[in-house]
Structure 1
């Protein structure tokens, strides 16, 4: 029984350890304003960098940004301009070496 519990906990940790990024908090009052799939092919032995920009209406501010990595790799997402509390955002995605960039970006206002 103890071995079964250890295996279950280890499998949950592996599933949760992906590189999904969450900026802000999604609440019942927020609404999805943009959902884009960002895909950039891999080049052997190189890291790929891709920028994603969003600019919304001036009177609405961004409350949450969710970035889901379908590769489950060591890729990273950084906010380089704007972000939470503004009406625009620029995201910089960098892949793991020899991997593609495969993200779904959700922006909530």
Structure 2
């Protein structure tokens, strides 16, 4: 756990370019419940107290990046576009809208 926190502190300086790596570290902490070893009952409580990336929401969202995007896409686009894409996906999920799998057919009259 100490090593993971050290890695995250090192990534803070260039988080935009290294968001996939930071997300992977956070995802591992969440998925393997490593936060419990430090006495936290939830991942959210852990990041709020132990992870200094600016906000709890950012840390929680970073952990989602490796679930949704490839490392190549994350490296290509950087943090801000990925956060925007996750926000758009969340909005679609909340409203029940489904993305089009293909463009609608145009009907000729």
Q: Please give the range of the TM-score, normalised by the shorter of the 2 chains.
A: under 0.3
Q: Which has the higher strand share?
A: 1
TM-score by length of 2: 0.23
Structure with the larger helix share: 2
Given the two structures, how large is their TM-score scaled by the length of structure 1? 0.23
